[in-house]
Amino acid sequence: MIKYLFKNYISPFKWRFALGFILLILGSFLNVLLPKILMEAIDRGVDVSDENQLIHFGLVYLTAFLFYIFSLYFMAIVLENLGQDILIKLKTTSFYKVLNWDYHQFTKYSAGNLVSRIERDAEKVRFFFTYALVAIVQSFLMFLGMIFLMGSENKLLTLIVIAPLPLVVFLLYLLQKFVYPKFKKVRKIMAEIMSKTTEYLRGLDVLKVFNREKLYFDKYDSDNENKFKLERNIEIVWIVFFNFIMLLTNLVIAIIFKVGAPMIVKGILTYGAIVMFIEYVRQFFFPLIQISEQISQIQRAIASFSRIYKMHSKESKIKSGNEEIEKILNSIEFENVNFSYKVDEPVLKNISFKIPKGEKWAIVGETGSGKSTLIKLLLRFYDVDKGRVLIDGTNIRDIKIKSLRKDISLIEQDFYLFPATVIDNIRLFDNSITKNYIKKICKAIKIDGFIENLPRGYDTYLREEGSNLSVGEKQLLSIARAMVKEADLVLLDEATSSIDPHTEKKIDKAMNILLKDKTSIIIAHRLNTILDADKIIVLHEGKILEIGNHRELYKKEGYYYNLCQNQFVEKLED
């Protein structure tokens, strides 16, 4: 993982990293040097009333301070731009990797989880490079620099300043162990509140119908109350801790005055040295606090990059072939196909059938019989365990995946619409497909009427998942999308199982136009939608029980006949 990080996200930007850290070192050095310059100004200018020396060191101090400010400014620009470039590279690489995952890898994660990995984890890594790492290095350099300069001036006073370090380190350890985990708990509660708020608002109509507004408001109020109490306790601990550090700082300053005053009288120490020590004491403990705070950030960044690395390193098991196909010329064939999602739990068993070009075939069977799995195998979302899937006699494993899917259209019941315009949802953001062509297609399948009646017609913006359309309207758009693709093979997976009869008639008319002269495979629970199929495959527990048209299968009075009886379609045999 470390090698991957350096190779892909550090080495390409090494010169900018180097420049950023040179500026960081320069800024840290100047920040530590300022009290030392102040000491020289007091001792050589104020103490001996030498105006020229005072002006000289005043200018030196001002120059050092300006260089310190400029170094911080340019360091921030360099590292922030660097962080943004790393962020963009992380996000685009992650998104590209996810797009090219195998289907089974993609289905293991929710969309929210993947978005979190692509967006939030990448942000945490960026934060590590642009702030956390900078803060730790800067604090470490300042801490060492202050000890060195104090030690070179007076070792006794340096020991007095360092003496409380074990106590401060112990308190920081307690904060790390007991307080910082509570920050994680607060973030978790906040995420839960946001998630619940979204769910409550989405289901607001249900809450109103069942008079549950007060119940869910009380839950929401209770969650916020718990979050408030936890945050309040954390804030109290932090306030106590910081006030203790301020008390400790002032106590050390008082001791420095007590011990340092006799040294000034004896000529061992100067007034300027006392001022320098006071300035260092005021800053001394905060680098430790900053380092402590950033340790948890670094831990989160490492965990985030670990998740990103796992995402990037997933190997595809579905390997693309080398052959190209332009069109399906003859047939689609399943030859002795066996498949299982889990070992020793077969879903398909010895499946064999051959669909000639231009025919309409249907697949029926109870839920879990393997109907949708056949489509996933044909699309190479998965590969068969045994047997072969052939197109025009060529094993689909030997065909380039993009070439294979280029000639296949898929219409599902859960048809997904993007938050975009109607026209972009139909052409899937391919601007080479003109608006006039899409209008022509929609008129041909008789769905232009409902589109034109939308607020802005084809330019109407659809909400997420097409929530401003009915189920039937979404299905009509799915047919238009398939029509625009002009594929030879159309797959329909439960395409009309949630449609009312009136809308189904509209869909049937559009579907007949879509399927004309095309090869099609239809999966449906409602048998009255596939009575005109050339062949019907009856699946049961992963096996083919029967194959034939409706009339042939009905006359057999077998498994298909019983399905017809259950759905009251026996009289449709005539």
Interval 187-196: pLDDT, tens: 777 767 776 7
Burial 129-153 (b: 16+ CB within 10 A, else e): bbbbbbbbbbbebbbebbbebbeeb
Is the pLDDT assigned to residue 216 strictly greater than 80? no
CB 10 within 8 A of CB 51: no
Q: Tell me which residue of 538, 128, 465 sits closest to 294, measured CA to CA.
A: 128
DSSP state of 527: G
Q: What is the pLDDT of residue 292?
A: 76
Q: Which residue has the tokens 């001996």?
A: 48
What ranges in 428-500 are assigned the alpha helix state H? 435-444, 448-452, 471-485
Contact predicate 364/390, CB 8 Å: no
Please state the separation of Cα 52 from the chain's center in Å. Answer: 62
Give the highest mean pLDDT range of 148-162, 483-497, 508-522.
148-162
| pLDDT tens sequence across 314-337 | 888 888 889 988 888 889 999 999
Q: Which residues contact 200 (CB under 8 A, 6 or more apart)?
A: 207, 216, 220
Identify residue 460 by its one-letter amino acid code.
Answer: T
HSE, CB side, 13 Å, CA atoms: give it for residue 425: 28
161 pLDDT more than 70: yes
Mean pLDDT on 403-426: 86
Of 353, 384, 376, the residue nearest 545 (C-alpha): 353
Distance CA 470, CA 464 (A): 13
pLDDT for 494? 65
Mean pLDDT of 129-141: 86
What is the rounded distance in angstroms from the CA atom of residue 468 to the CA atom of residue 475? Answer: 13
pLDDT confidence bin for 571, thresholds 50/70/90: very low
Is residue 454 within 8 A of residue 442, CB to CB? The reply is no
* pLDDT above 70 (res 511): yes
| Cβ(513)–Cβ(445) below 8 Å | yes
390, β-bridge pairs: 333, 395
* CB 472, CB 506: distance < 8 Å: yes
Mean pLDDT, range 354-382, rounded to an integer: 89
The span from the CA of 491 to the CA of 65, in Å, is 71
Q: What pLDDT score does 536 carry?
A: 93
- CA 147 distance to own-chain centroid: 44
426-435, 485-494, 496-505: segment of lowest average pLDDT = 496-505
In angstroms, the CA 523 to CA 536 distance is 10
| Cα gap 125→171, rounded to integer Å | 28
Q: Which of 219-233, 291-305, 367-381 has the lowest mean pLDDT?
A: 291-305
Q: What is the pLDDT of residue 389?
A: 94
Answer for the pair 348, 542: CB distance below 8 angstroms, yes or no. Answer: yes
Distance CA 198, CA 217 (A): 13
Q: Is the torsion defined by CA of 462, 467, 469, 474 positive or negative? A: positive
d(C-alpha 190, C-alpha 183), whole Å:
11
Phi then psi dihedrals of residue 349, to 5 deg: -130, 110
DSSP 488-531: SEEEEESTTTT--HHHHHHHHHHHHHHHTTSEEEEE-S-GGGST
Report the CATH number of the 1-153+294-317 domain: 1.20.1560.10
Q: 519, 515, 521: which is closest to 371 by C-alpha? A: 521
Number of H helices, E strands in the chain: 23, 10
Q: Are strands 360-364 and 535-540 parallel, antiparallel or unpaired?
A: parallel
What does the alpha-carbon distance between residue 187 and residue 114 come to, in Å, rounded to a whole number?
A: 19
| CATH number given to 331-569 | 3.40.50.300
Write out the two tokens for 190. Answer: 């906040």
